[in-house]
């Protein structure tokens, strides 16, 4: 019977042709979308630099139903036919790129919709690198400096500094990045070995740019002190490497401290990292600069004696101004009330055993607190600008621009470094919290009087 119906169909077709009956319609019942009921979506896929993206998958959905799919060619072009209709969604995916999902305009039968798309790189998890660029001569912020972030030889992000020398740039989470700073009239600076964790903001210390008028050798000078006593440490071995935060590789110069902890090293103009080593102390690193033909002093540091298991030491250092910054630590006790260790109440022994080891009131530090016994609960660490905390001096950004740096040590060595965010107003810097072994950055500023009332 099927064969008979096929013969009858062709007879009807022949009759239509012979008789010129234009009203005859002989379409196959299985053809659901004739030429009047379908349209075409075509376009080119490119990356943000205009390069074609080959092998991308293009899918067209009607609600939750996939109705058509194709892939892009070597030149990034694609073309796909779909039923005429509305309410469609296009989904484009490609390895290494952020997927695109978007609603489409109506598809009209017998027409081609041109839909060219640009795909962003898929950086996945991200973090932020933040800091400030200053003139090494007068510490003023440098506007318009170019900040480039490199992963090896690959440039992965760039930005420029604002009027205050501030910058912030988002990058893919990763490790071993180099932050390169360039600006007209200054020598390029590289800040190395920057690690960025997911959703983390890494605040770098101020990068002091050296004017390109400095040439030849300069002298680096400073004092290395004991973080507990505040006294100078003799016979500290100092190894200089080129670049900021360069903790391995060839040394370019070396020296050692005198009996009073002072040192002096001649080295060509440039940016360096000083490695500080002595038996019984945790190895430390500081950034230093050399200005040709000049002596650049007060490039100081404090080194911490080795700690026993379970101990935590917090060391605060800063620049010449303001003169007096104070460390404040609050935390749990077994009797209930939280303790508050600072210059006016310098120890606690109530479950928690902690004390203020060093209190400096004449610039640079160290201000040091050691937790000898830590109990369950959350500890908070603050830095107070005692010099400017009087309400009469507000608003004040001297604390934020002091170059303050907080280093946290445990028996394993240095476990965290906090560089103060620049150009913020306030006389109290809430730095971090500690709970068990978890250290969480806070980095907020206020005018709270740390001496007058209880801190959290």
User: In the 8-state DSSP scheme, what is residue 342?
Assistant: B
pLDDT of residue 7: 33
CA gap 403, 422 in Å, rounded: 8
pLDDT of residue 384: 97
Mean predicted confidence (pLDDT) in 417-440: 97
The answer to whether the CB of 359 falls within 8 A of the CB of 343 is: yes
The answer to whether the CB of 83 falls within 8 A of the CB of 107 is: yes
CA gap 185, 190 in Å, rounded: 16
pLDDT of residue 10: 33
CA gap 253, 266 in Å, rounded: 8
Structure tokens at 269: 């103009």
User: In the 8-state DSSP scheme, what is residue 363?
Assistant: S
pLDDT of residue 265: 98
Instruction: Please tell me whether the peptide bond between 366 and the residue prior to it is cis, using omega within 30 degrees of 0.
Output: yes
Give the end-to-end CA distance of the chain in Å, rounded to a whole number: 91
- The dihedral over CA atoms of 272, 278, 282, 284, expressed in degrees to the nearest 10, equals -10
Judge residue 7's burial from the number of C-beta atoms within 10 Å of its C-beta, 0-12 exposed, 13-18 middle, 19 or more buried. exposed
Least confident of 123-132, 218-227, 280-289, 435-444: 123-132
- Of 100, 98, 63, 96, the C-alpha closest to 78 is 100
Domains 38-119 and 128-209 in one fold: yes
pLDDT of residue 452: 80
- In the predicted model, what is the mean pLDDT of the chain? 91
Q: Tell me which CATH code domain 215-304 carries.
A: 2.60.40.10
Structure tokens at 267: 């080295």
CA gap 451, 449 in Å, rounded: 5
Buried b (16+ CB within 10 A) or exposed e, 73-93: eeebebebebbebeebebebe
Residue 178 has pLDDT above 50, yes or no: yes
Q: Tell me which CATH code domain 128-209 carries.
A: 2.60.40.1120
- Of 339, 415, 326, the C-alpha closest to 367 is 326
Interval 77-100: pLDDT, tens = 999 999 999 999 999 999 889 899
Interval 61-77: pLDDT, tens = 999 999 999 999 999 99
User: pLDDT category, 392, cuts 50, 70, 90?
Assistant: low
pLDDT of residue 18: 36
pLDDT of residue 5: 32
pLDDT of residue 394: 77
Mean predicted confidence (pLDDT) in 221-250: 97
Interval 10-46: pLDDT, tens = 333 333 333 333 333 333 333 333 346 899 999 999 9
pLDDT of residue 272: 98
What angle (nearest 5°) sits at the alpha carbon of residue 74, between those of residues 71 and 79? 40
- Domain 38-119 listed as CATH 3.40.640.10: no
- Domain 307-456 listed as CATH 2.60.40.10: no
CA gap 392, 450 in Å, rounded: 16
278: helix, strand or coil: coil
pLDDT of residue 404: 98
Interval 342-391: pLDDT, tens = 999 999 999 999 999 999 999 999 999 999 999 999 999 999 999 998 76
The residues spanned by each domain of the chain are 38-119, 128-209, 215-304, 307-456
User: In the 8-state DSSP scheme, what is residue 392?
Assistant: G
pLDDT of residue 454: 74
Interval 111-130: pLDDT, tens = 999 999 999 888 788 999 99
- Of 208, 172, 57, 40, the C-alpha closest to 108 is 40
The 10 Å Cβ neighbour count of residue 13 is 12
pLDDT of residue 36: 61
Residue 328 has pLDDT above 60, yes or no: yes
Find tokens 């201000």 and name the residue.
367
Sheet holding 352-358, edge to edge: 347-350, 352-358, 367-373, 312-317, 405-410, 413-419
Find tokens 């390169």 and name the residue.
180
Count the alpha carbons within 13 Å of 334 in the hemisphere toward its beta carbon: 8
The answer to whether the CB of 102 falls within 8 A of the CB of 41 is: no
For residue 426, the surrounding DSSP H or E stretch is: none
């Amino acid at each position: 019977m099927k064969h008979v119906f096929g013969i009858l169909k062709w007879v009807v077709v022949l009759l239509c042709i012979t008789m010129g009956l234009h009203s005859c319609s002989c379409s196959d019942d299985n053809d659901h979308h004739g030429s009047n009921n379908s349209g075409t979506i075509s376009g080119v896929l490119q990356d943000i630099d205009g390069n074609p993206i080959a092998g991308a998958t293009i899918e067209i959905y009607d609600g939750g139903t996939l109705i058509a799919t194709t892939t892009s060619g070597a030149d990034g072009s694609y073309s796909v036919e779909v039923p005429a209709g509305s309410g469609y969604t296009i989904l484009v995916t490609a390895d290494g790129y952020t997927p695109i999902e978007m609603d489409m305009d109506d598809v009209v039968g017998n027409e081609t919709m041109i839909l060219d798309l640009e795909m962003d790189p898929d950086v996945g998890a991200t973090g932020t690198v933040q800091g400030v660029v200053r003139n090494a001569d007068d510490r003023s912020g440098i506007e318009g400096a170019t900040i480039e972030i490199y992963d090896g030889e690959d440039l992965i992000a760039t930005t420029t500094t604002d009027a205050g020398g501030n910058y912030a740039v988002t990058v893919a989470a990763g490790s071993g990045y180099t932050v390169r700073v360039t600006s007209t009239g200054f020598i390029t600076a590289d800040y190395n070995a920057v690690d960025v964790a997911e959703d983390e903001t890494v605040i770098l210390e101020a990068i002091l740019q050296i004017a390109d008028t400095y040439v030849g050798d300069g002298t680096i000078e400073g004092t290395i002190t004991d973080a507990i006593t505040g006294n100078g440490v003799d016979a500290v071995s100092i190894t200089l490497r080129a670049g900021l935060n360069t903790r391995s590789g060839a040394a370019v110069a070396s020296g050692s401290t005198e009996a009073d902890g002072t040192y002096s090293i001649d080295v060509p103009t440039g940016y360096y990292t000083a490695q500080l080593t002595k038996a019984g102390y945790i190895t430390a690193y500081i950034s230093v600069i050399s200005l040709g033909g000049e002596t650049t002093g007060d490039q100081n540091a404090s080194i911490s004696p080795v700690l026993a298991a379970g101990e935590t030491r917090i060391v605060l250092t800063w620049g010449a101004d303001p003169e007096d910054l104070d460390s404040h630590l609050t935390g749990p006790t077994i009797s209930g009330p939280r303790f508050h260790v600072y210059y006016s109440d310098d120890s606690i022994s109530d479950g928690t055993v902690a004390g203020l080891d060093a209190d400096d009131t004449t610039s640079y530090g160290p201000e040091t607190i050691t937790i000898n016994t830590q109990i369950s609960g959350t500890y908070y660490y603050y830095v107070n600008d005692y010099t400017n905390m009087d309400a009469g001096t507000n608003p004040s950004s001297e604390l934020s621009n002091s170059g303050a740096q907080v280093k946290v040590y445990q028996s394993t060595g240095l476990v965290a470094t906090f560089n103060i965010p620049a150009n913020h107003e306030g006389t109290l810097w809430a730095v971090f919290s500690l709970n068990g072994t978890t250290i969480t950055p806070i980095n907020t500023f206020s005018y709270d009087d740390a001496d007058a009332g209880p801190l959290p």
